[in-house]
Amino acid sequence: MAVFSEILADTLSLSVTIDTKAIPVTSLQYNAALNKSRRVRFTVVGDDLVQLCNLGSEVIISAGRDRAISNLNFAGIIREVNPNNEGAEIIAMDYITLLITSDFVNYKDEDILGRDLFVLVADAMNITEIDTSNLLGGSGIVATSSMALSGLQTKKQFIDKCFENMYLFVEDTTLYFDKLNPITYYYAIHESNKIDIMRIDDLNVKSKPSLIISKTNDTIQQLSAKIDTTNLVNSYTVTSSSNSKLTYNFKDDGSITRYGLRSKSDSLNSLDYPLIVDTAQKYVEQNKEPSFNYSFTIRNADHLSVGDLVEVTHPLTEKSILLPISEYSIDTTAGLIMNVVLGRKRLTLSETIARIR
């Protein structure tokens, strides 16, 4: 049975059940981020409804606006109950939360080394409550001993270790403007209990955005930008820790002209001079530009989700750029209002070296 609230957006069809019992709610918010449990927050009024909302109870939300694509459907369990004078605020998490609190598993090298990381995490995510039917294929990135994946840990801890190593660099002048281009992987439950692994290839010229925005775009509100040069490096010196005569400096003159000289030096435990040269060049390629983070508000965009690409044009940038949605929140109290945060991960030196090798 569909339960409607007068306070919720009048275009939103909503059904909320707790352990299969339909209940009315007077507010509904969503919060989601890459590699994390999606959280919903709602309010119930009356002691009889509060008594139905026990910790660990199953929450099923069916919601939409008469469209085929919607990410508002939710399945999870109650993690918090916060009583108040009128009733209670309820916080539920999707089933990724069960990976966080899983039994400890002893992952052994003989069971994981040489296997595709995509396959390893798909196996770890395969619990009764999570639908893993979308997890097909692989990443081409295999587990190695240097990744330090083995040991006694929860499923979520193991999964996150794998995703820390699920990235690769691509060099292809027909598909990318830069010499070195990272492809990264993330996971999330977008809808109900179906988990997805996303391959983010935002620098590829053939990648298409789910949304195009600019400061003058009428469909969005409050577009704000943060351009951070904290980690920008355009002159990098790498020296062998075993032989100080083996050293190499690489500069990007274009970045130095635009942003000023930002230098850094490191030692590398290697006598391989070509590796030292390659490391310096690729590290600068990865870090010669500032990091861009954007946030904006948009109405009636429940088809968007974390991992989707958004093309942004802003006066502070020289050209439009593609960025993935890294997190969002949705409030349905006064219409369907979505606050979106865009941004991409910046790889560290150790991560760059690991992929070069």
| Helix (H), strand (E) at residue 18 | strand 13-18
Is 253 strand, coil or helix? helix
Is 245 within the bounds of a domain? yes
> Looking at residue 333, what DSSP letter applies?
B
Q: What is the mean pLDDT of the chain?
A: 87
- Last residue within a domain, chosen from 33, 64, 95: 95
Per-residue model confidence as pLDDT tens for the chain (357 residues): 334 444 444 467 788 999 999 999 988 999 999 999 999 999 999 999 999 999 999 999 988 766 545 688 999 999 999 999 999 999 999 999 999 999 999 999 999 999 999 999 999 999 999 999 999 999 999 999 988 999 999 999 999 999 999 988 888 889 888 777 889 999 999 999 999 999 999 989 999 999 998 877 777 888 887 777 877 899 999 999 889 989 999 999 999 998 899 999 988 888 889 989 988 888 888 788 887 788 999 988 888 999 999 998 877 666 788 999 999 999 988 778 999 999 876 666 555 655 555
What is the Cα–Cα distance from 241 to 126, expressed in whole angstroms? 44
Q: Which residue in the block uniquely carries the two structure tokens 């499923």?
A: 155
Is 309 within a domain?
Answer: no
Sign of CA dihedral 128, 134, 138, 141: negative
Which CATH number do you get for residue 31?
2.40.30
Nearest to 280 by CA among 303, 247, 309: 247
Q: Which of 49, 78, 95 is the last residue of a domain?
A: 95
Nearest to 144 by CA among 165, 127, 160, 158: 165
- pLDDT digit string (tens) for 88-125? 999 999 999 999 999 999 999 999 999 999 999 999 99
The dihedrals phi and psi of 226, each to the nearest 5 degrees, come to: -130, 115
Find the domain containing 274 and state its range. 230-287
- 3-class secondary-structure state, position 17: strand
The answer to whether residue 259 is domain-embedded is yes
Question: Would 246 be classed as within a structural domain?
Answer: yes
Whether residue 248 lies inside any domain: the answer is: yes
Structural domain includes residue 118: no
Going by DSSP bridges, is the β-strand pair 151-153/105-107 parallel, antiparallel, or unpaired? antiparallel
DSSP labels for 129-177? TSB-TT--S--S-B--GGG---EEE-HHHHHHHHHHT-EEEE--TTT-S
Query: Is 76 a domain residue?
Result: yes
Q: Model-level pTM?
A: 0.84
Evaluate whether residue 275 is within a structural domain.
yes
Residues 6+ apart with CB under 8 A from 137: 118
DSSP β-ladder status, 321-331 and 28-33: antiparallel
Cβ atoms of 220 and 214 closer than 8 Å: no
Number of domains in the chain: 2
Give residue for tokens 């009636």.
300
Domain boundary among 46, 73, 95: 95
pLDDT in tens, 317-354: 667 889 999 999 999 887 789 999 998 766 665 556 55
